[in-house]
Amino acid sequence: MFRQEPEPREPSAMGESLSTWTPSCNGAVRVELSGQRTTSDSGALLLREALDNSGVIEALEDNLVDLRNPLRIHHSLASQLRTLVLQRAMGWIDLSDTDTLRRDPLWQLACSDARGMTPLAQDRPSQATLSRLLSCLGRNDNIDAVHEGLLRLVVWRLSSLQNGERPKQLTLDIDGLPIEVHGHQGGSAFHGLYGARIYSPLVASLAETGDMVGGLLREGNAGPAENADTWIPHLVRRLNESTGAQVRVRIDAGFTDNATLEALEDRGIEYLGRLRSHTGLQKLAAPHLKRPPGRPPEQPREWSHDLEYQAGSWSAPRRVVLVVQERPDDLLLHAFFLVTNLGKFDWPPEKVLALYRKRGSAEAHMGEVKSALDVHLSSTDRGASTVQDVMARNEVSLLLSLYAYQVLHGLRCLLERQTRQGWSLSRMREQVLKVAATLRLHARRITVHLGAAADKWWPTLLKGLPKLTALS
């Protein structure tokens, strides 16, 4: 509880009278709304440093088509992009949040193109300005550059944060990331499984590193594998060109349709996926669902069998690995199938199963995108906007959330290497980035005085923050 003291009343920087408050728990404490240059988001400067080192904003500015009249531009595309990416990384998700932060001096510094004292005198972009930015980025002549920017962030992180040693092999995990929407946004649809109106985007991540490589927004009623046969091979090709690594693909049962598997095979891409159980597979498994003679051991056992199978929709037989498992207190054996084109000599059944089980780490990374970034899509049908326009704006919004994840993930991995302990994005944001600071202006110099919470982790991060390395 707080109680208000009627006196004294002090003027703020806006000329308004602000009350002084004293908490009832301690009468010696005075709480004043003094209007000083303070912030709780000093970590935005660290994120700006990482974003600058990646070079992604400059690359986007060079490749984006800006149809605005140069004489009427108040906010560059670069400053607006920084605003959206950094605010999302710090937990300010809505476009309207930029109005909430419009007088925060550190946000003026973190997002501006200008140097010196100039950023403190500049207005921040409004909600309407940022909304127009999403429309600009979603145009056909810009959307490819936004996709490429995400890949550039991945390559920067793999190069800069691992001393330039890029991995020789990468596993690309593909999964759906259903996102609930509110209202009748163009392209969304009610989905009975989730009991809500959703979009059904695809998200691609790297299993070994946790990086988010790509996102593709699809309508809410899209089938699990819709567009996967063209999108996945394109991502694999760009990853191979950018990193030089051999890329294999790991998918769940929704993507093991004939079109997707054929598209991967035609391009010589290795894949591994799970098959949905059905009558044909159950008949194939039946001869192997027998326990060996003797008393079962205390620990449940597991067997793997190499088989060949041709589904009705497949044009040819494919290698299938049957996994048979004992379960505690269950008389019946459990079985599931994996389909793969990995070579039998280098990849025996047990090794194939071990590779598939690592998919859990990718699902954890995708869950972190939803939880830490609070991904939601809110572009609505504005008058003459078509469904395609709404979908394009929302795809850009999804990609910018993945940008924010990548910048956070880069700092997180650096912090883990320096401190030798694990960090979640939420924990890093709350303990490392959400640090209070006061700004002092003197002799055309801005001094940021950080709160004591920064003492523990900031020196570690500043010491290890990488510089941009050459990108292929």
* Per-residue model confidence as pLDDT tens digits over 131-151: 999 999 999 999 999 999 999
Q: How far apart are CA 445 and CA 377, in angstroms?
A: 40
pLDDT of 294 reads 77
404-423 as b/e: b if 16+ CB within 10 A: bbbbbbbbbbbbeeeeeeeb
435 versus 466: which is more confidently predicted?
Answer: 435
Predicted confidence (pLDDT) at residue 466 exceeds the cutoff of 80:
no
Predicted confidence (pLDDT) at residue 465 exceeds the cutoff of 80:
no
Q: pLDDT by residue (tens digit) across 42-85?
A: 999 999 999 998 999 999 999 999 999 988 899 999 999 999 99
Pairing of strands 202-206, 318-325: unpaired
pLDDT of 261 reads 95
pLDDT of 174 reads 94
What DSSP designation does 187 have? T
Predicted confidence (pLDDT) at residue 7 exceeds the cutoff of 60:
no
Instruction: State mean pLDDT over 206-210.
Output: 90
Q: How far apart are CA 344 and CA 340, in angstroms?
A: 10
Q: How would residue 321 be classed by pLDDT, with cut points 50, 70 and 90?
A: very high
Predicted confidence (pLDDT) at residue 108 exceeds the cutoff of 60:
yes
Q: How far apart are CA 374 and CA 376, in angstroms?
A: 6
Predicted confidence (pLDDT) at residue 110 exceeds the cutoff of 80:
yes
Q: How far apart are CA 356 and CA 256, in angstroms?
A: 14
Predicted confidence (pLDDT) at residue 32 exceeds the cutoff of 60:
yes
Predicted confidence (pLDDT) at residue 95 exceeds the cutoff of 50:
yes
Predicted confidence (pLDDT) at residue 1 exceeds the cutoff of 80:
no
pTM for this entry:
0.90
Q: Which helix (H) or strand (E) holds 173?
A: strand 169-176
Percent of the chain with pLDDT over 90: 52
Q: Of 183-192, 219-228, 261-270, 406-415, where does the model show the most confidence?
A: 261-270
Least-confidence region, from 176-185, 319-328, 374-383, 430-439:
374-383
Predicted confidence (pLDDT) at residue 14 exceeds the cutoff of 50:
no
Q: Which helix (H) or strand (E) holds 107?
A: helix 105-111
Predicted confidence (pLDDT) at residue 13 exceeds the cutoff of 70:
no
Q: How would residue 469 be classed by pLDDT, with cut points 50, 70 and 90?
A: very low
Whether the ω angle into residue 8 lies within 30 degrees of 0, i.e. cis, is: yes
How many other CB atoms sit within 10 Å of the CB of residue 133? 23
CA nearest 413: which of 363, 471, 368?
A: 368
Domain ranges of the chain: 274-289+298-339
Q: What is the dihedral of CA 424, 427, 430, 431, to 10 degrees?
A: -120
Q: Which residue has the tokens 């510089």?
A: 467
Alpha-carbon distance values, 33 to 8, 61, 94 (Å) = 12, 39, 26
CA nearest 176: which of 370, 37, 451, 361?
A: 370
Predicted confidence (pLDDT) at residue 106 exceeds the cutoff of 70:
yes
Q: How would residue 381 be classed by pLDDT, with cut points 50, 70 and 90?
A: low
Q: pLDDT by residue (tens digit) across 419-441?
A: 889 999 999 999 999 999 998 88
Q: How would residue 417 be classed by pLDDT, with cut points 50, 70 and 90?
A: confident
Predicted confidence (pLDDT) at residue 15 exceeds the cutoff of 70:
no
CA nearest 302: which of 259, 249, 354, 226?
A: 354
Predicted confidence (pLDDT) at residue 395 exceeds the cutoff of 80:
yes
Instruction: State mean pLDDT over 382-387.
Output: 69
C-alpha Rg value of the chain to the nearest Å? 26
Task: Output the six-digit token pair for 229.
Answer: 């046969």
Percent of the chain with pLDDT over 70: 92
Question: Both ends of the chain: CA-CA distance in Å?
Answer: 59
Collapse the DSSP code of 84 into the 3-class scheme (helix H, G, I; strand E, B; otherwise coil) and give the result: helix
Q: Which long-range contacts (CB under 8 A, 24 or more apart) does 135-144 make?
A: 135/389, 135/392, 135/393, 136/64, 136/66, 136/67, 136/77, 137/64, 137/396, 138/389, 138/392, 138/393, 138/395, 138/396, 139/65, 139/392, 141/65, 142/64, 142/65, 143/392, 143/395, 143/396
Q: Of 41-55, 182-196, 365-379, where does the model show the most confidence?
A: 41-55
CA nearest 273: which of 287, 288, 283, 260?
A: 260
CA nearest 204: which of 147, 125, 263?
A: 147
Predicted confidence (pLDDT) at residue 256 exceeds the cutoff of 80:
yes
Q: Which residue has the tokens 């956070």?
A: 408
pLDDT of 292 reads 81
Instruction: State mean pLDDT over 99-105.
Output: 89
pLDDT of 379 reads 60
Predicted confidence (pLDDT) at residue 39 exceeds the cutoff of 80:
yes
pLDDT of 392 reads 92
**Burial of residue 4, with CB atoms counted within 10 A of its CB: 0-12 exposed, 13-18 middle, 19 or more buried:** exposed
pLDDT of 460 reads 84
Q: How far apart are CA 249 and CA 300, in angstroms?
A: 30
Task: Output the six-digit token pair for 309.
Answer: 């199978």
Predicted confidence (pLDDT) at residue 380 exceeds the cutoff of 80:
no
pLDDT of 376 reads 78
